[in-house]
Structures are given as structure tokens and as C-alpha cells.
Chains A and B, each alone.
Chain A
Amino acid sequence: MRFKSLAIMAALVLGLATSAFAGEKITIKGSTTVLPIMQKSVEAFMKKHPDVTIEVSGGGSSNGIKALLDGSTDIAMASRQMKDKEVKLASEKGIDAKEIVIAFDAVVPIVNPANPVTDLTADQLKAIYEGKITNWKEVGGNDAPIVVISRDTSSGTYETWEGKIMNKARVFPGALLQASSGAVLQAVAKNPKAIAYDGLGYVNDSVRAVKVNGIAGSAETAKNNTYKVARSLQIYVNGAPAGATKDLLDFILSEEGQKIVEETGFIKM
């Protein structure tokens, strides 16, 4: 409810604050992962352009892209690339969806600092999350059962993990679910047998990040695409952006906008 209510509140506040100006109106919809970046950017942007009305709401990447194709939003936020099905639908509807990457995000596997395992292959991670590898000694650790911790299935972090590591396989039902990135950290920090994954911005000293295929997740490796569990955060617009939409995009990609990206815990361009 957090993001949704935040989005509604932001939309209301922005709507009220600018209703007095008869300027351009932009609607933005989509990924809840991108939402914090967008909200802060829009707040800063509105201070400079009080004549522009911007409505921001969440609803998930799929909802955002669907809204762009329906013509009910100007900008769609997405934490994933458009699927083939969506690209095809866009061309059928005569919509020229342009992708603009605004930030990067890396998801890293984490273990308890007491765990000797420092490096896992993507295949090992997949087998662990499928419940096929159940003991740490199978991957070079101590003789102890692996406690698999996952985010709940609707989380964006989970979707990244599923897309990059699971390859259409399902996370087995015995995995522990934690409702937030903070809870994931807490659980791993308190349990030497646990493994989990979390956004790079959340990882701190209470846990240890594990390399994937020998490469540590970082801003560097996420950007040059050598790290496996990285993704770009992007927005989609219909055709080349113009007017206030272009101004907003320029702002997000500017130094000031990219600082907001970093402040919200993501990797700047």
C-alpha cells in the first residue's frame, strides 16, 4: 500500500499545487521501483516549472506499458524491457514506443558474514532457489542446511531475480518470504545458514554480498552489463519526446536528476 498511497498523495498534492496554472499536463504511470526516483524528480522539476501539471502513479511496469499503449498515459515507467508481445501490440496500434534508460539497479545475493561462501554461479543460485541444492557443503560451505529467503512474488526485486536467475523456473514453496528489503537484511544478519538477495542500495555491513559467476555486483559491473543480475530502469514514451515531456526527461538525465537517482538508492547513468 506504501507506494500506491504515496503515489495517490503525490498526485493529489501535485494536482492541487498546480491546478491554478493552465499549463501543460503530463501523466506518468508504471513501475513501483521507478516510482521513488520519479516522485523526487517531479517534485524538483515542478519547482522550476510551476506551469506544468504532472500526475504520477504506480501500478507496476505492466500497467504502465498497458496505459501507454492505450494512450492513457504520456510516460510509462518500467523496471523491465517491453516484452515482444507488447512491442507487437504497439506497432499494431501505431504507437512508436521509445525507450529511455534513466538508471541502473543491481540485485545481489547476500549471506551472513559468518558464512564462508563468497562466490556462487548463476546455476548454483538457481538450484538453491529451486530447492535442489539444500546444503551449504554442496557449494563449498559448511555442512549446514541452506535457509532460502526470497521476497514475495509481487516484488520488483523478485521479478528481477526470477528473470535473471530462475529462467522461468519457480522459486520452491519452502523459501521463506520476507515482505520488505529491510526484513530480508534482518533475517540474513541473524541467521548464518541463510541466503537472500536484495537491491544494492540496501546492502550494508550486517550481511555479505556474494559474487555471481565471479563478478561482484556494483555500479560499475551493472553499467557495463558484466554483472548478471543487473537491470536498467527505463521509461517509455510515444514518439520523440517534445515540450514539457522533453524538459522533464532532460531534467532526469541531467546531473541534478541523476543525483536524485543516487539518493533513492539506485545507480546513476
Chain B
Amino acid sequence: MLITRRTKDRIIHGTFFAIAASCVLVLFLIMLFLFIEGLPIFKVVSVPDFIFGTAWYPTDDPADFGILPMIAASFSVTLLSSLIAIPLGIMTAIYLAEIATPRMRNIVKPFVEMLQALPSVVIGFFGMVVVAPLMQEWFDIPTGLNMLNASIMLAFMAVPTITSISEDAIFSVPNEMREASLALGATKWQTIANVVLPASLTGISTAVILGMARSIGETMVVLMVAGGAAMIPTSIFNPVRPMPASIAAEMAEAPFQSDHYYALFATGMVLFLFTLMFNVLAAYFAEKKKQVGVASL
């Protein structure tokens, strides 16, 4: 009946390993499923035709499965939303970590984080019902359901991610470095710009990439406000149809294991590869240039 400390240790070790391993296994199975359901489409259409084709008519006879407009839409929406979200997110982070008084910080931070708690369907609905008609009026454009609207809504969703991770990075810059800079006669602003920011650049890059990954994978918002035209956009006021919107809109009515069904899974595969790329990139930045203590600068 005696359980030695060593066996106890082994059991705990084993339990944790099993839990971690099952996570990895589930992830692997999901990936496997995605590929099993997506790959059959390439019997019908070649890989280049799928990725570079510009016509998406999956239910026509003969059907066309070209997802280039969707890829272009995903990229342009992500890029535009990053252009909005990165300055906002990073500047908010700097304010919170370096400038704000603790009291102010306690007020502002929860509000920024609450943005993250807003369900995406609420943000989408807001964009659809409030922002779209306003945009139509202000810019005198045919439709407010377009790339700019979707990008602004996505930026709302990316800002909290970017802010909180950047803030952590800025906050963790050792105080000695600030003190040294100030002691040399630098102003507060010079210290932030030339010492604190460069020191936390790794964390900020990670924040930005994770924020972008969130934008490229987000479904509900782009389904509701991006407009959904399968056209390669030429202006920020064009309606677009990013990959997640296309999958979400069509999966419900695509016959099980038809070419259309396979094509949607293949679109999911492409999307998965993109987000994977973003995450690998983020991990690379976080790991490669990891700051270890004060001495590494």
C-alpha cells in the first residue's frame, strides 16, 4: 500500500503528460480531418487553378472553384485592419504602461479589455446597422458593407490583443534601464522612444502578429459587414469576401461530400496554413529575440 514519493511523482508526471498529449492529439486529428475533407477537391481542379482562379461558382455545372478573390480579400482586410489597429493598440499600451497614473490605468485598462469581451456578432451587427449607413452617407458610396467597414470592425477586435500583449512587454522592461536613461539626462519621452520601445520590440511584434492572425481568421464580422462580393478589391470601398465568410456562408447548404463541400474544406486548409504561418512567425520572434535580463541589450 505504500506509495513512495517517487511513484507519486511518476503518477503526477504521467497524468500531466497524458493531458498535454491529448491536446496535441486532438489538434492533430482536427488537422487530419481538415486535410482528408479538403484534398479530394484537387481531383476536380488543379492546385494552381484553385489558388489562382478568379471565378467562384461552386454550384454551376460545370463549376468553377477559384479562391484568389477570397485570398486577396482576406489579405487586404487584414492589412487594412492592422494599419488601423497597430498604432491604436501600441499607443494605448505605451500610455497604459508608461504615462498613465495608476488610477487612470485602472480605469482605462478594463475598458480596453472589455472590447475583447464583446461577442464578434455584436460588433458585426453594429457595423451592419450603424456604421454601414453612416459610411454610405459620409463618403457617398454605393454600399457601406465594404472592406473599410470590415477592417474597422476587425481593428476593434485586434486592439485589445495588441494592447495587452504589448503592455506586458513594455511593462517587463527592467526599471534599471529607464533609470539609467533618465540619469543620463534623457527626457521621459526620449526614454520611451529610444530605450523602452526598442527593448520591448520583440513582445510588440508578437502582439502585432497575433492581432493580425485574429483578424484573418475572424468569421462573423466579415460575414456580416464585408459585403461578400467575390471580386478582387480595387478600392477600400469595394465589397469583399474573405475566406472565413465564404466558408461560413456556404457550408450550411453545400451537399455533404460534394465537390462544393470539399472546396470549402480546401479553403479552410488554405486559411489554416495562413494562420499557422502567422503563429509560427510570432513564436519565432518571441523566441529568437527573447530578451534575457538587462545584459542582453
Contact of A154 among B142, B145, B224, B260 (CB under 8 A): B260
Contact of B256 with A173 in the complex, beta carbons under 8 Å: no
Contact of B59 with A173 in the complex, beta carbons under 8 Å: no
Q: Does A137 contact B (CB under 8 A)?
A: no
State the majority secondary structure of interface residues on B. loop
**Beta-carbon nearest neighbor of B254 in chain A:** A154
A177 to B227, CA, bound (A): 6
A35 to B143, CA, bound (A): 34
**Beta-carbon nearest neighbor of A33 in chain B:** B253
Q: Does A78 contact B (CB under 8 A)?
A: no
Of B129, B249, B258, chain A has the most CB atoms within 10 Å of the CB of: B249
Knowing A3-B253, A32-B253 are in contact, say whether A187-B229 is a contact too (CB < 8 A). Answer: no
Q: How far is the CB of A197 from chain B (nearest CB, A)?
A: 15
Contact of B252 among A4, A170, A178 (CB under 8 A): A4
- CB neighbours (8 Å) of B143 from chain A are 147, 176, 191, 193-194
Contact of A191 among B136, B229, B251, B252 (CB under 8 A): B136
Pick out which of these stretches binds chain B: A58-66, A114-122, A234-242.
A58-66
Contact of B230 with A193 in the complex, beta carbons under 8 Å: no
Q: Does B83 contact A (CB under 8 A)?
A: no
Q: Does A2 contact B (CB under 8 A)?
A: yes
Contact of B57 among A153, A176, A190 (CB under 8 A): A153
A181 to B137, CA, bound (A): 25
Contact of B229 with A156 in the complex, beta carbons under 8 Å: no
A45 to B231, CA, bound (A): 47
- CB neighbours (8 Å) of A190 from chain B are 128-129, 132-133, 136, 144
- CB neighbours (8 Å) of A4 from chain B are 252, 256
A4 to B136, CA, bound (A): 36
- CB neighbours (8 Å) of B129 from chain A are 186, 190
A128 to B242, CA, bound (A): 24
- CB neighbours (8 Å) of B251 from chain A are 1
User: Within residues 4 to 60 of chain B, which ones have a CB less than 8 A from any CB in chain A?
Assistant: 54-60
Q: Does A145 contact B (CB under 8 A)?
A: yes
B: contact size bracket: 35 or more
**Beta-carbon nearest neighbor of B128 in chain A:** A186
Contact of B241 with A155 in the complex, beta carbons under 8 Å: no
- CB neighbours (8 Å) of A141 from chain B are none
Q: Does B255 contact A (CB under 8 A)?
A: yes
- CB neighbours (8 Å) of B253 from chain A are 3, 32, 60, 152, 154-156
Q: Does A269 contact B (CB under 8 A)?
A: no
Q: Does B239 contact A (CB under 8 A)?
A: yes
Contact of B241 among A1, A62, A147, A177 (CB under 8 A): A177
Q: Does B69 contact A (CB under 8 A)?
A: yes
**Beta-carbon nearest neighbor of B227 in chain A:** A176
Q: How many chain A residues touch B (Cβ–Cβ < 8 Å)?
A: 35
Contact of A173 with B55 in the complex, beta carbons under 8 Å: yes
User: Within residues 234 to 262 of chain B, which ones have a CB less than 8 A from any CB in chain A?
Assistant: 239, 241, 245, 248-256, 258, 260
Contact of A147 with B59 in the complex, beta carbons under 8 Å: no
A201 to B75, CA, bound (A): 38
Q: Mark B120-153, 1 if CB is under 8 A from A, else 0.
A: 0000000011001100100000111100000000
- CB neighbours (8 Å) of A13 from chain B are none
Q: Does A74 contact B (CB under 8 A)?
A: no
A78 to B251, CA, bound (A): 19
Q: How far is the CB of B62 from chain A (nearest CB, A)?
A: 12
Contact of A63 among B60, B128, B256 (CB under 8 A): B256
A152 to B227, CA, bound (A): 11
- CB neighbours (8 Å) of B260 from chain A are 154
Q: Does B221 contact A (CB under 8 A)?
A: no
A153 to B264, CA, bound (A): 13
Q: Does A133 contact B (CB under 8 A)?
A: no
Contact of A173 with B133 in the complex, beta carbons under 8 Å: no
Of B128, B229, B248, B253, chain A has the most CB atoms within 10 Å of the CB of: B253
Given A32-B253, A190-B133, A191-B144, 19 further pairs, Cβ under 8 A: A3-B252, A144-B142, A146-B142, A152-B250, A153-B56, A154-B58, A154-B252, A155-B253, A170-B57, A175-B229, A176-B228, A176-B229, A177-B245, A179-B249, A186-B129, A187-B128, A187-B145, A190-B132, A193-B143
Q: List 29 A-B contacts (CB under 8 A).
A: A2-B252, A3-B252, A4-B252, A32-B252, A62-B255, A63-B258, A147-B143, A152-B228, A152-B249, A153-B56, A153-B57, A153-B59, A153-B250, A154-B260, A173-B55, A173-B230, A175-B229, A176-B145, A176-B229, A178-B228, A179-B248, A179-B249, A186-B128, A190-B128, A190-B129, A190-B144, A191-B133, A191-B143, A194-B143
7 closest cross-chain pairs (CB), A and B: A177-B228, A154-B253, A179-B249, A60-B255, A145-B142, A152-B249, A173-B231
